Amino acid sequence: MEKYKRHSGVVIPLDRANVDTDAIIPKQFLKSIKKTGFGKNLFDEWRYRDHGEPDQDESTRQINHEFVLNQPQYKGGTILLARENFGCGSSREHAPWAILDYGIRTIIAPSFADIFYSNCFKNGILPITLSEELTQNFFEKSLNIAKFSLEIDLQHQKVIDGETSYHFDIDDFKKYCLLEGLDDIGLTLKNENDIQLFESQYKKNYPWLIRE
Amino acid sequence: MALTLYEKIFNRHVVKGLEDSYLIYIDRHLIHEVTSPQAFDGIRLNKRKIWRTDSIVAVPDHNVPTLDRERGIQDPISKIQVDTLDSNCVEFGLNQFKMNDTRQGIVHVIGPEQGLTLPGMTIVCGDSHTSTHGAFGALAMGIGTSEVEHVLATQCLIVKKLKTMQINVNGQAPKFISAKDIALAIIGHIGTAGGTGYAIEFAGDAIKDLSMEGRMTLCNMAIEAGARAGMVAVDDKTINYLKDRPYVPQGELWEMAIKDWKQLVSDKDAVFDQVINLDAGLIEPQVTWGTSPEMVTSISGFIPDPNLQSGSKKKSYLQALKYMNLEPNLPISDIPVDRVFIGSCTNSRIEDLRSAAEIVKSKKVAKSIKQAMVVPGSGLVKMQAEKEGLDQIFINAGFEWRQPGCSMCLAMNADRLESGEHCASTSNRNFEGRQGQGGRTHLVSPEMAAAAAIYGKFVDIRKL
């Protein structure tokens, strides 16, 4: 996993509440057995006017020019700005894979759905929860100021807008894993003895749950 | 100290407290073809072992065809995914109910059916509707693929303790009000993010009255209220349902187990972070009109007017009505219906099929309906339904009787809506494009879906 320390980029304003993971990456693309290649189908049903299928030649697709990702001023943006309850619905990790594959490393929203939120961290994406007021402020700026950009400093937990910076909260462990680009399976396996010890006691307490 | 059901189960699974989270032990890991291949790749790539293969049961369900399955999967990309599950199960020595096994079905239907789901367990699956299994007094959560890999390698999950919410549905649900209506009414009340960060325990007389199938429907929809886990306390119904199922402990172990399971209820004085009370007597048959499960009203209701809302809600309502092609103030009973889908991990169990068949019996599907289909939740549900003659009731009425799988709930296989079509569906999500690009989903109970097929529109089943 790529380390996340500081990140700056153009803000892409996605002005919808309750964006679900079906919208982030529609089901037909979940048939892939890989983790990469989903970026071209990120928000597929909003981004294109025709129906997409895996392995389709993207140059033949009908672009929906109204959709934010297709507007020239947001091309190359790497910070997604969203409304409340972003990432609700299905637990598909293909959603953060598609976001990352597109080139987005940061998502800012007033709230996230639980499973999606935790999936982001496993893939080096930083989801930042900010107040409704502040996100609204960023929405207005990104709609009115060309190439409106933000800078994120994960170490100091700050979103920096020019001269002003705003604090955000994050779990220490999640922050540590992102900063170091760590795979948490390796970290958990350092507790191998604890898990084995737990398991042997657990077998005695609940013998019907683990059978020899 | 008085504990909630969630806390009791959580506490017995804590391996270790971490800085701001916990390492918890996982008893049961259910796997399907869509969210597991990349996890197995990770295991191979890092040369790791699977910690406890006997905790895992795999089944293909999302991609499988529901017609002529014996001929194999026609879609080559779907076939690769199902074949990959097969080869991973062989390579790692995992128990799998393969596509043509009678025990195959939707992962959240077969878990309880086989007795793989037991009270007090922690259960995970790379699927958000894993919350279903909480109906058995278990802590069951949907996880992503990285977490699937984490559980494969460590038998553990790193989690934060959830907040607790008790939703009491008091009194008696009126006739024709099913668990689905209760679930949708709750979501309409607390919203689709109302349960975010919580484990919800459903309680109250109306919940006690529900069958195990009904409780599964309810817990299944907990995730649509934003809650990663939904649960119901153990009672005699839980134990009677499980007795003698294939993977349930037998003999002395069974006796030990039920003694333990009977303690899996929230203590009388347990404190929840939030308590919500609803009157079951006031719940009417529910129909969703928009693109989020919280956009729901009763059969006697009307499409709401977005102009009476403000802020982002107004915007969401406008977007939803545009997508659904519905006008404000239209009676719910005037919504056109093109297709009917009875199935999914929410409503494809035997009880669901019985109650739908009751409505359909000796009637015909309306001419205006392009397609009405029933997709049983598992091979065993299908067999039982056929034994009871339910298949004939559906077929005689003009329904298609299909083979088990997720089918048109998420339309990953060939079963899907055409753009612009409205569907009366017993599934769990009415998101844009969920049942096919441009498709318009209305979530309802099996009885309401069955009646919509017969009358060609939504009708009040209480008045039939």
Mutation choice for B interface testing from A88, A117, A140 by most B CBs within 10 A: A88
Indicate yes or no: CB of A92 within 8 angstroms of CB of B249: no
Query: Residues of A with CB below 8 A from B80's CB?
Result: 31, 33
A-B Cβ pairs (cutoff 8 Å, strict): 186
pLDDT of residue A57: 87
Cα distances (angstroms) measured from residue B181 to each of A76, B212, B445: 45, 16, 6
Question: Closest residue of A to B249, CA-based?
Answer: A208
Indicate yes or no: CB of A90 within 8 angstroms of CB of B21: no
pLDDT tens per residue across span B13-61: 999 999 889 999 999 999 999 999 999 999 999 999 999 999 999 999 9
* Option in A54, A122, A195 nearest B154 (CB): A195
Structural domain spans, chain A: 6-181, 184-212
Q: Give me Rg for the CA atoms of chain B.
A: 21
- What backbone torsions phi and psi does residue A88 show, to the nearest 5 degrees? -75, 170
pLDDT of residue A180: 95
pLDDT of residue A212: 59
Beta-strand ranges (E) seen in chain A are 6-13, 79-81, 106-109, 126-129, 149-153, 158-161, 164-167
pLDDT of residue A80: 98
pLDDT of residue B153: 98
Question: Closest residue of B to A200, CA-based?
Answer: B15
Our CA-based measurement puts residue B269 at a distance from the nearest CA of chain A, in whole angstroms, of 26
Contacting B residues, span 301-340, partner chain A, CB-CB under 8 Å? 312-313, 315-316, 319
* Option in A18, A51, A184 nearest B292 (CB): A18
ipTM over 0.90: yes
Nearest Cα neighbor of B89 from B146, B30, B167 is: B30
Q: Which CATH number fits domain A6-181: 3.40.50.300, 3.40.47.10, 3.20.19.10, 3.40.50.720?
A: 3.20.19.10
Residue B261 has pLDDT above 90, yes or no: yes
pLDDT tens per residue across span B202-239: 999 999 999 999 999 999 999 999 999 999 999 999 99
Query: Residues of A with CB below 8 A from B73's CB?
Result: none
Indicate yes or no: CB of A189 within 8 angstroms of CB of B153: yes
pLDDT of residue B12: 98
Amino acid at B112: P
Whole-structure pTM over 0.80, yes or no? yes
Indicate yes or no: CB of A198 within 8 angstroms of CB of B431: no
Cα distances (angstroms) measured from residue A113 to each of A184, B25, B447: 21, 23, 31
**Rounded distance between C-alpha atoms, residue B322 and residue B309, angstroms:** 16
B63 touches chain A (CB under 8 A): yes
pLDDT of residue A211: 73
B433 touches chain A (CB under 8 A): yes
Query: Residues of A with CB below 8 A from B77's CB?
Result: 31-32, 54-55
Q: What is the DSSP pairing of strand A164-167 with strand A158-161?
A: antiparallel
Contacting B residues, span 148-187, partner chain A, CB-CB under 8 Å? 149-150, 153-156, 158, 160
What average pLDDT score do residues B111-140 get? 98
B277 touches chain A (CB under 8 A): no
In the DSSP assignment, the letter for residue B81 is H
Mutation choice for B interface testing from A114, A139, A143, A190 by most B CBs within 10 A: A114
Query: Residues of A with CB below 8 A from B434's CB?
Result: 22
Lowest-confidence range among A53-62, B282-291, B333-342, B446-455? A53-62
pLDDT of residue A55: 83
Indicate yes or no: CB of B21 within 8 angstroms of CB of A171: yes
**Rounded distance between C-alpha atoms, residue B224 and residue B221, angstroms:** 5
pLDDT tens per residue across span B154-174: 999 999 999 999 999 999 999
In the DSSP assignment, the letter for residue A191 is T
